[in-house]
Amino acid sequence: MRAGKAGRCWRGRQEAQPSRGCSSWFPEAQTRTEEQAQAPCACAFPAHAANMAPVEHVVADAGAFLRDAALQDIGKNIYTIREVVTEIRDKATRRRLAVLPYELRFKEPLPEYVRLVTEFSKKTGDYPSLSATDIQVLALTYQLEAEFVGVSHLKQEPQKPKSPQETEKGHPACEPENLEFSSFMFWRNPLPSIDHELQELLIDRSEDVPSEEEEEEENGFEDRKDNSDDDGGGWITPNNIKQIQQELEQCDVPKDVRVGCVTTDFAMQNVLLQMGLHVLAVNGMLIREARSYILRCHGCFKTTSDMSRVFCAHCGNKTLKKVSVTVSDDGALHMHFSRNPKVLNPRGLRYSLPTPKGGKYAVNPHLTEDQRFPQLRLSRKARQKTNVFAPDYIAGVSPFVENDVSSRSATLQVRDSTLGAGRRRLNPNASRKKFVKKR
């Protein structure tokens, strides 16, 4: 009888003992009950995993690995490309990649899908912000969507933002009721105020405030606690409640989603949503809203929705800048400008333009849309190939290939168009990116 009790006690200890991989390193886990021990570990499943159906096929970008997203709870099959893992340099992230709790599948997209995504991103205006790796990740998402779902519901052209309707002559537009939230640029509706709700919460909390004697007794215990929550992380405050409300409105729980992409890049999210693909956040929520952009000339203040333009169609200057826009319910177009003064970079305005060069191999800066440029083709001698079996071959000529090293095109290192362009003289007025090494 004692042996049976001892056996039951030993089994009880085994059931109450926490798993070593989740919480055995924390002293709080040693006091869990048997019901808590049978429940799944909190570190393996997020709080919303019970209400969220996992996606069948998920394509992960580098941001998902850097943010340590629980991809095993978001999707069943995790895909990526080898370039994503190669570009990760963080030591902690590379250690996590070595011991992933799920199988990471590498798959390369087909060239036709890469070409399709590239052309679509040029139409949305996000192509300059995308790298070669980003385009391959987008192409892989499109390929999986085509294989498992189909392409009939996907968009072939991005949706262009509509311009605001002009009012009739003699009928001025109505003024906003509240001028406190208006500006000379655009009108936006005020966000809901939370002063009244916060006041009610403060009144309710004031009833449960302990006395001074109780506070003095608890001071010794509270001083030992870690002050890691002093920065307000994880708490809803009047400073961040508006941002949290906007994030909750833009996200939703994924339902009946077979293929999705987890990325933190706004340009990639915009292209995916414009094409009709599903975008997942690092917490597994489905992102619904996308950003729309237009080009605005800061010289004549005209706008255009053609993101492939380089020069302004009204004034002809190279002064187009990308501006994010939103369309309200009444069809009004609202432009959102950056407060950063470095958006209009004055680089290149200090030195005068170089003297225009003439000739067959001249390289001049691109100043106007209808400017003519030389073709920069190879010389006739460089295009010739030595073929001893040709009918025009003259006996006695050397059968070895002769390379052109003395012509003008050879000295300028001009290459054939099929082989790519050769070396070009750099423009000193062109903007250059600065790569700062982070410590």
Strands 320-327 and 286-287: unpaired
What's the CA gap between 259 and 154, in Å, rounded?
13
Is 9 among the annotated ligand-binding positions? no
| Residue-by-residue DSSP string for 294-356 | EEEETTT--EES-TT--S-TTT--S-EEEEEEEE-TTS-EEEE----GGGS--TTSSSPPPPP
**Was 312 annotated as part of a binding site?**
yes
Report angle CA 27, 33, 34 to the nearest 5 degrees: 125
Determine which helix (DSSP H) or strand (DSSP E) holds 76, and give its type and residue range: strand 75-80
What pLDDT shows up at residue 85? 92
Per-residue pLDDT of the chain (439 residues; tens, 9 = 90+): 444 444 444 444 444 444 443 333 333 333 333 333 333 333 333 434 434 458 899 999 999 999 888 888 888 999 999 999 999 998 999 999 999 998 999 999 999 999 999 999 988 888 888 999 999 999 999 999 999 999 888 988 887 665 544 434 444 444 444 444 444 444 455 555 555 555 665 565 555 555 555 555 555 544 544 444 444 445 667 666 655 555 554 555 567 788 999 988 888 988 898 898 988 888 777 777 666 788 999 889 999 888 888 999 999 988 899 888 876 656 577 888 888 877 787 777 788 888 988 888 888 888 888 888 887 777 776 666 666 676 766 665 566 666 777 777 777 777 665 444 444 455 667 666 666 666 5
Task: Give the pLDDT confidence score for residue 145 in this predicted structure.
Answer: 93
Cα–Cα distance, 10 to 349 (Å, whole number) = 81
User: What distance in Å separates the CA atoms of residue 365 and residue 369, rounded to the nearest whole number?
Assistant: 11
Tell whether 43 is in a known binding site. no
Q: Take residue 410 and report the two structure tokens written for it.
A: 């050879």
Token digits of residue 119:
């052309």
Per-position b or e across 68-96, b if 16+ CB within 10 A of its CB = ebbbbbbbebbbbbebbbeeeeeeebeee
Please determine, looking at this structure, whether the domain spanning 29-160+239-288 carries the CATH number 3.50.50.60.
no
Please name the residue that has the structure tokens 């949305």: 124
Task: For residue 300, say whether it is annotated as part of any ligand binding site.
Answer: yes
Pairwise CA distance, residues 303 & 313, whole Å: 9
